């Protein structure tokens, strides 16, 4: 029996044994703006949001005329989030991202205003499903980034269970920002049911000689970079750093945290943008204003309908199901 067949058998048994309760959102939540989709409520630190979740199915969003207005909205939202980046390259990048099949797109709205999105295509590398994350938000610090990534993971996992497919256990994102890393760290916490188990290269480096997951994680991030990369000048495989990946887009928007006000963020910034030394061998050595990014790989724990409510809700609906 192959690994995929074993995974499918486990998923089938899991479905048979599950008892999933229905979950209702607030009665005044609006219908999804672009037709079929799952609507998720989210109470942020300062405001209430309606999260519309769409599934591209076996085609990308750009291949489906019914999503033409949605595609335009996402591109414009990306441009508004990063106004100093080269417009033509940014448009090309987002259209490329929206063209991937097997994608979940989560759009955050506050009233009539769109505040951000998360785009999560699922790639396969040598049979291993990998979730790739692209997020952009006009508001910061309200918890949207953490919630939307968590929801995107759970929706992909629910699809795998329904389709008797291999459950995604790995995800990758590329970032210049410590705040993206802090989102991942939050998802390792008890508050978020320890959604993530490992975070490379922060828990351990990709070239770790002892950890059994290191070789696979290194292979996955380099294959993702080859799939989504723009203009890297050098890949540093042990740390996940891609030199100059975003250098053609425009001014680096990296925000340096204040040490006294945000000590955890400051420590991460120091680790990312300082060269390794004998005393700090795990520094990444990224360069400010050089377009450097770090490809971060995270291992995802298996889902459970007892604690993962979005996962349970998705299992109870016919929307968002991609069994391809």
The tokens describing 307, both together, are: 């604690």
* Whole-number Å distance between alpha carbons of 39 and 195: 21
In a 3-state reduction of DSSP, which class is residue 314?
helix
What does the H/E/C string look like for 277-313?
CCCCCCCCCCCCCCCCEEEEEEEECCCCCCCCHHHHH
More confident residue, 57 or 286: 286
pLDDT tens across 59-113, in order? Answer: 999 999 999 999 999 999 999 998 888 888 889 889 999 999 999 999 999 988 9
Higher pLDDT, 156 or 323: 156
- Dump pLDDT digits (tens) for 155-172: 999 999 888 889 999 999
Taking 3-state DSSP, the helix, strand and coil percentages for the chain, each rounded to the nearest 5, stand at: 35, 20, 45
pTM of the predicted model over 0.75: yes
What CA–CA distance (Å, rounded) separates 157 from 98?
20
Confidence tier at 5 by pLDDT (50, 70, 90): very low
Phi-psi sector, 164: left (phi>0), alpha (psi -120 to 50), beta: left
> Phi first, then psi: what are they for 126, rounded to 5°?
55, 40
Q: At 42, which helix (H) or strand (E)?
A: strand 38-43
User: Are the CB atoms for 165 and 180 separated by under 8 Å?
Assistant: no
| Cβ-contact 54, 105 below 8 angstroms | yes
232: CB partners within 8 A, 6+ apart: 225, 242, 243, 244, 245
Q: What is the mean pLDDT of the chain?
A: 85
pLDDT value for 246: 84
Structure tokens given for 62 = 């750009």
Better-predicted residue by pLDDT, 304 or 65: 65
The region of weakest confidence among 114-118, 187-191, 305-309, 316-320 is: 316-320
The pLDDT assigned to 253 comes to 63
CA 302 remoteness from chain centre: 16
Output 232 or 129, whichever has higher pLDDT. 129
d(CA 94, CA 72): 10
Q: How far apart are CA 2 and CA 134, in angstroms?
A: 32
Cβ(172)–Cβ(160) below 8 Å: no
Q: Quick one: tokens of 10?
A: 């486990």
Between CA 233 and CA 238 the distance in angstroms is 16
242 neighbors 174 (Cβ within 8 angstroms): yes
Task: Tell me which DSSP letter residue 250 carries.
Answer: B
Distances in Å between the Cα of 78 and the Cα atoms of 64, 95, 136, 138, 263 are 20, 11, 6, 9, 29
Rg of the chain over CA atoms, in angstroms? Answer: 19
* Residue positions counted in the chain: 324
Indicate the DSSP class of residue 263: H
Say how far apart CA 56 and CA 141 lie, in whole Å.
Answer: 29
């Amino acid at each position: 029996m192959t690994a995929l067949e074993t995974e499918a058998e486990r998923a089938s048994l899991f479905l048979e044994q599950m008892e999933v309760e229905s979950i209702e959102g607030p009665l005044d939540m609006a219908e999804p703006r672009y037709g079929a989709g799952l609507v998720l409520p989210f109470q942020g630190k300062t405001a209430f949001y309606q999260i519309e979740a769409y599934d591209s199915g076996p085609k990308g969003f750009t291949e489906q005329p019914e999503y033409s207005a949605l595609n335009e909205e996402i591109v414009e939202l990306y441009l508004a989030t990063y106004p100093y980046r080269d417009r033509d390259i940014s448009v090309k990048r987002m259209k490329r991202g929206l063209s991937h099949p097997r994608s979940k797109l989560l759009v955050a709205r506050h009233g009539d205003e769109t505040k951000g999105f998360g785009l999560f295509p699922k790639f396969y590398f040598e049979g291993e499903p990998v979730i790739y994350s692209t997020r952009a938000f006009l508001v910061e610090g309200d918890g949207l980034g953490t919630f939307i990534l968590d929801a995107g993971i759970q929706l992909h996992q629910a699809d795998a269970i329904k389709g008797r497919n291999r459950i995604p256990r790995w995800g990758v994102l590329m970032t210049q920002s410590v705040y993206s890393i802090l989102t991942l760290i939050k998802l390792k916490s008890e508050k978020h049911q320890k959604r993530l188990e490992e975070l490379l290269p922060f828990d351990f480096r990709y070239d770790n000689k002892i950890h059994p997951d290191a070789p696979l994680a290194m292979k996955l991030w380099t294959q993702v970079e080859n799939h989504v990369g723009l203009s890297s000048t050098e890949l540093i495989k042990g740390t996940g750093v891609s030199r100059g990946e975003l250098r053609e887009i425009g001014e680096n928007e990296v925000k340096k945290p204040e040490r006294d006000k945000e000590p955890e963020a400051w420590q991460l910034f120091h680790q990312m943008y300082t060269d390794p030394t004998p005393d700090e061998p795990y520094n990444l050595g990224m360069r400010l204003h050089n377009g450097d990014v770090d490809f971060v790989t995270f291992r995802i724990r298996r889902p459970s309908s007892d604690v993962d409510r979005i996962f349970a809700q998705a299992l109870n609906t016919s929307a968002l199901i991609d069994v391809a």
